[in-house]
Amino acid sequence: MSARDTPEAAAIRHNLAAVQARIAAAGARAGRAAADIRLLPVTKTVSPARIRLAHAAGCRMFGENKVQEARSKAEALSDLAVRWSVIGHLQTNKAKYVARFASEFQALDSLKLAEALERRLQIEGRGLDVLVQVNTSGEESKYGLPPQEVRGFLKHLPCFSALRVRGLMTLAVLSADHARVRTCFRRLRELRDALRQDAPAGVSLAELSMGMSGDFECAIEEGATVVRIGQAIFGPRPLPDSHYWPV
């Protein structure tokens, strides 16, 4: 046992392996290869020290929902070769931060934000993979475009040359009613299938980012290519809205 092989490191390795096995099993049920489903570990409220353990366990990309938290972790971990995906709502005035350090942004939902990201990415000389967030649950509390507005929105995206559109993202309704959760995922896949036929040139809709710790198996059965998983890897979050993390 090396000095770094603490119980905490072992727990993260164990949880990661368990999640990967569940991804593979759900994929197999749906006739899909595990290699076609990307696990994005979500590290909101997880300390940089614990993110290092996940890196040591093989993770190379992490998801964060708040840009400030993501920025400070990217700085604290700048010695590691890791990439960052911003998966939460972004205010236009914070586009510059995402343009500086993120590899992927999963919550694009307005042209104003696309314009701000494009301008800042041009300044930085960078490109960004983006997913368009869709509100599949109809809940007012959720961000994302209503499904019927996505087609018109996609038409504008080819003119933003720094934004590489990869697909769609959604959050399902938070409910113990599995049928309602599944309906959200199915809606995203059906929307993607309908839009794919005549997607604008350069706009790929290959990716479907859907599914979190509580519902990722259902999402995979409905076609998820990216699952965003935090608590099943890092344990429960005691302070879900905190900007701070235990040291």
228 binds ligand PLP per the rule CB under 6 A = yes
Residue 13 or 151 having the CB closest to ligand PLP: 13
* The pair of three-digit structure tokens given for residue 173, joined into one six-digit string: 């309704």
Which of 44, 71, 120, 142 is close enough to bind ligand PLP by CB under 6 A? 44
Among the candidate windows 21-29, 52-60, 182-190, 225-233, which touches ligand PLP by CB under 6 A? 225-233
Which of 65, 85, 136, 137 is close enough to bind ligand PLP by CB under 6 A? 65
Which of 38, 100, 231, 235 is close enough to bind ligand PLP by CB under 6 A? 231
| H-only helix segments in 57-110 | 67-76, 95-101
Q: How far apart are CA 38 and CA 87, in angstroms?
A: 14
**Least separation in angstroms between CB 156 and ligand PLP:** 24
Order of strands across the sheet that contains 83-86 = 38-41, 226-229, 207-209, 163-169, 128-133, 104-108, 83-86, 61-64
213 binds ligand PLP per the rule CB under 6 A = yes
Give φ, ψ of 104 to 5 degrees.
-145, 145
**What distances in angstroms separate CA 55 from CA 107, 191, 222, one per listed residue?**
24, 35, 29
20 binds ligand PLP per the rule CB under 6 A = no
Q: How far apart are CA 123 and CA 103, in angstroms?
A: 16
Site string for ligand PLP, 150-189 (x = CB under 6 A): ---------------------x------------------
117 binds ligand PLP per the rule CB under 6 A = no
Closest CA to 222 of 21, 22, 32: 32
**Least separation in angstroms between CB 45 and ligand PLP:** 9
73 binds ligand PLP per the rule CB under 6 A = no
Site size with ligand PLP, rule: CB under 6 A? 14
230 binds ligand PLP per the rule CB under 6 A = yes
**What distances in angstroms separate CA 236 from CA 51, 110, 240, one per listed residue?**
15, 32, 9
The one-letter amino acid code at 154 reads L
Positions touching ligand PLP (CB under 6 A) are 42, 44, 65, 87-88, 171, 212-214, 228-232
